């Protein structure tokens, strides 16, 4: 199964910003919704955001915990989905993963039907 590739994680102070990238193979990018998830050791995986394909409604969806602070977007030329994260807090510390999620159908409940998972990128919010 083809994998997505995340990048862009790192260390940031509270209130700062990071932009995560999720590179998708050509066979995937145009045909699947892509979601971002995050997980902290010992806790359940949390769906963060999902963006539909341009041929569907192209909609973007967000968890309540990140709404107004995070923005998901697609760049077709680069086959990349971005997650712009602003006003970061200590609670945003996690490993962030992207995956395909057909019709953004399962991201909000942890992504049980998500596929093509990437290896993850770590985000550490600390002063």
Q: Yes or no: say if 114 and 34 are a contact pair by the CB < 8 Å rule.
A: no
pLDDT at 55: 79
| % the chain with pLDDT above 70 | 100
What confidence tens digit (pLDDT) does each residue in 42-85 have? 999 999 999 998 777 779 999 999 999 999 999 999 999 999 99
Kindly list the distances between the CA atom of residue 3 and the CA atoms of 13, 27, 76, 88, 100, in Å, as whole numbers in the listed order. 30, 11, 17, 27, 9
pLDDT at 10: 97
First to last CA, the chain: 39
pLDDT at 54: 77
- Per the structure block, which two tokens stand in for 42? 């010992």
Q: What is the mean pLDDT of residues 112-117?
A: 95
Q: What is the mean pLDDT of the chain?
A: 95
- Per the structure block, which two tokens stand in for 71? 């923005």
């Amino acid at each position: 199964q083809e994998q997505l590739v995340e990048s862009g994680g790192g260390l940031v102070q509270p209130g700062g910003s990071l932009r995560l990238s999720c590179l998708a193979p050509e066979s995937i990018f145009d045909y699947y919704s892509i979601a971002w998830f995050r997980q902290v050791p010992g806790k359940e995986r949390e769906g963060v955001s999902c963006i539909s394909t341009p041929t569907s409604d192209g909609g973007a969806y967000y968890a309540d915990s990140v709404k107004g602070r995070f923005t998901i977007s697609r760049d077709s030329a680069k086959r990349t989905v971005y997650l712009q994260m602003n006003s970061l807090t200590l609670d945003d510390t996690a490993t962030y993963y992207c995956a395909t999620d057909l019709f953004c159908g399962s991201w909000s409940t942890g992504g049980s039907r998500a596929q093509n998972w990437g290896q993850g990128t770590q985000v550490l919010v600390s002063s």
